[in-house]
Amino acid sequence: MNAPDPHDAPLTLVTGASGYIGGRLVPALLEAGFRVRAMARHADRLEDRPWRGQVEVVEADVGDPASLQAALDGVDVAYYLIHAMGGGRSFADRDRQGARSFAEAAAQADVERIVYLGGIHPEGVELSAHMASRKEVGDILLAGAVPAVVLRAAVILGSGSASFEIMRHLSERLPVMIAPQWLRNRIQPLAVRDVLHYLVGAARLEGAPNRTFDIGGPDVLTFAELLQAYARAAGLPQRRILTVPVLTPRLASHWIGLVTPVPTGIARPLVESLIHESVAAETDLRGLVPDPEGGLTGVDRAIELALARIRELDVATAWHSATPAGAPSSPLPEDPEWSGGIVRGDERQRHVDASPETLWAVIEGIGGRRGWYSWRLGWISRGLMDRVVGGPGLRRGRRHPDRLAVGDALDWWRVERLERGRLLRLRAEMRVPGQAWLELGVQEAEGGGAILYQRAIYHPHGLLGDLYWWAVWPFHGIVFGGMQRNIARAAEDVPSDRRSAVAGAGSGTGTGYDTDTDTDTDTDTDTDTDTEETA
């Protein structure tokens, strides 16, 4: 019998392919035998994904309906995995318009099914703004001409998920917690591997179902009990949790923003989802999609798998994988015409007595646990200030300790351009009255060694932006001068017999997770787990 033609396999479109779920769904669909078209606002942010060569990549944005035509052409099943978490005051309008544009474009392209991942919520209660928006997106897709399968999940447990990182850092850092009373509400967590199982299964459902399905794991417990479950898996003493009725979601999200890597803007919708119980009201999908081999993953096993992934630096995607809509990426404000006549900058260069390859390895390994090679106290203080006002601070860390990719979060920066061995451009995502970039470049020097180029660029917004620049200007010599000297010294201090190994450290293709640059309170664990499983 002839093998089936892979070109006859259904074509799936994965929107949000650079995000946490989308980046994991792509390889899951490939493994299941589907053809995959991955959609992102910036296609270059998918270049380093291990599955890049197996999929078609299309650049499109639901905010630009015209760009959706090519993305949806010939698609059988379209996954809608877009939601403006922490997306500013107008996020609901963007979500609403994006869903409408996508539903209309899918109908014009004769797509057979749309699959959407939303959140479990009780009926008949007033929902938070973010939960209401997610529900509205599902309702818009269900009301469209293309049949939609809307999956609703509660807390997702997996390495790198925002929910898991909140749980992990609260448990590890706070042996005693004063928590809101609604931490005792029941939730039904679901392992990320089981979320992917149901998402893939949704593409194979027979007929043309147009409805919601609640999906949940085998355990129903409270978030407080979930924190204790993490403590057990991590080998920590049981946490003491004192609940009080006065801690509002706003206060709780600010506290989470200070204690965990997840900033306030992302933490708040997650916290607000805990105000109500999140338990599946029905299990209809289990009758249509067989359970995964071995059954659904329990909470304890899901936590063990996630910890193993983190320990092995094998975290495929993280909560900060996707960049927010509308984030600036180009053009770089290199001339007064772009910026209205005002561009501030600090530019330096230095000869380094090391090979360009060794110097580049130091540059590509910057941030995360290694820090920023200058005035550590200043960076930590600025990171704390950023977290107080809801920014990412320094705790996002790195995806991998040695290797970067375009789109990666790097502490409070985002990798905007990467020419491996030559140029690294970072865009600041800290709270600042303007836009800021940092460039680090390498060039081979005549006569041996390398030239290190360093440039900081700032485009101020209004008078406040200018005042900010001049307020920090006296520290530039300490920060940027020290950074350049110490990067050069780090490259020069690599022993000659190790320089080839150091230069090759950033050439791997694995992924990982490296966080907590402004604290030393991480706890190593020795959980015996099967690291080949998805978490």
Residue-by-residue DSSP string for 66-108: GGHHHHHTT-SEEEE----TT--TTHHHHHHHHHHHHHHHHHH
Q: Could you give the CA distance from residue 344 to residue 436 in angstroms, rounded to a whole number? A: 9
Which class is 7-311 in CATH? alpha beta
Question: Could you tell me which residues are beta bridge partners of residue 212?
Answer: 150
Residue 506's closest CA among 370, 366, 364, 359?
364
Max avg pLDDT among 1-15, 88-102, 379-393, 508-522: 88-102
User: By mean pLDDT, which of 263-272, 348-357, 437-446 is the weakest?
Assistant: 263-272
Q: Could you give the CA distance from residue 357 to residue 444 in angstroms, rounded to a whole number? A: 9
Model confidence at 210, in pLDDT bands (50, 70, 90)?
very high
What is the arithmetic mean of pLDDT over 45-58? 90
Contact 398, 407 (CB under 8 A): no
Look-up: residue for tokens 């590890």? Answer: 172
- Is the predicted pLDDT of residue 113 greater than 50, yes or no? yes
Q: What pLDDT is stored for residue 259 in this prediction?
A: 74
Model confidence at 531, in pLDDT bands (50, 70, 90)?
very low
Choice between 338 and 168, residue whose per-residue pLDDT is larger: 168
Averaged pLDDT score across all residues of the chain:
82
Q: What pLDDT is stored for residue 376 in this prediction?
A: 81
User: By mean pLDDT, which of 60-69, 71-80, 121-130 is the weakest?
Assistant: 121-130
Sequence letter at residue 317: T
Q: Could you give the CA distance from residue 111 to residue 145 in angstroms, rounded to a whole number? A: 10
Please, which residues have CB within 8 angstroms of residue 429's CB and are 6 or more apart in sequence?
327, 391, 392, 409, 412, 413, 414
Q: What is the maximum alpha-carbon separation in the chain?
A: 75
Q: Could you give the CA distance from residue 279 to residue 198 in angstroms, rounded to a whole number? A: 17
Q: What pLDDT is stored for residue 530 in this prediction?
A: 32
Q: What pLDDT is stored for residue 197 in this prediction?
A: 97
What is the arithmetic mean of pLDDT over 48-69? 92
Within this chain, domains 7-311 and 338-507 share the same CATH topology: no
At 231, give phi and psi (nearest 5°): -55, -40
HSE-up (13 A, CA, CB side) for residue 24: 26
Q: What pLDDT is stored for residue 98 in this prediction?
A: 93
Model confidence at 6, in pLDDT bands (50, 70, 90)?
low
Model confidence at 520, in pLDDT bands (50, 70, 90)?
very low
Model confidence at 153, in pLDDT bands (50, 70, 90)?
very high
C-alpha R_g of the chain: 24
Choice between 314 and 332, residue whose per-residue pLDDT is larger: 314
Q: What pLDDT is stored for residue 522 in this prediction?
A: 33
Ordered by start, the domain boundaries in the chain are: 7-311, 338-507
Model confidence at 473, in pLDDT bands (50, 70, 90)?
confident
Q: What pLDDT is stored for residue 343 in this prediction?
A: 53
- The angle subtended at Cα 37 by Cα 155 and Cα 77, nearest 5°, is 65
User: By mean pLDDT, which of 220-224, 270-274, 372-376 is the weakest?
Assistant: 270-274
- Is the predicted pLDDT of residue 334 greater than 50, yes or no? no
3-state class (DSSP) for residue 172: helix
Question: Could you tell me which residues are beta bridge partners of residue 118?
Answer: 152
What is the arithmetic mean of pLDDT over 201-217? 95
Q: What pLDDT is stored for residue 471 in this prediction?
A: 82
What is the arithmetic mean of pLDDT over 474-486? 85
Tally of CB atoms within 10 A around 267? 28
pLDDT in tens, 172-186: 888 888 888 878 889
User: By mean pLDDT, which of 46-60, 84-98, 112-126 is the weakest?
Assistant: 84-98
Question: Could you tell me which residues are beta bridge partners of residue 423?
Answer: 419, 441
What is the arithmetic mean of pLDDT over 431-456? 90
Tally of CB atoms within 10 A around 351? 14
Q: What pLDDT is stored for residue 310 in this prediction?
A: 80
Contact 153, 120 (CB under 8 A): yes
Q: Could you give the CA distance from residue 133 to residue 233 in angstroms, rounded to a whole number? A: 34
Q: Could you give the CA distance from residue 123 to residue 294 in angstroms, rounded to a whole number? A: 32
User: By mean pLDDT, which of 357-361, 380-384, 511-515 is the weakest?
Assistant: 511-515
What is the arithmetic mean of pLDDT over 304-332? 66
Q: Looking at the domain 338-507, which fold is it?
A: Alpha-D-Glucose-1,6-Bisphosphate; Chain A, domain 4 (3.30.530)
Question: Could you tell me which residues are beta bridge partners of residue 449?
Answer: none
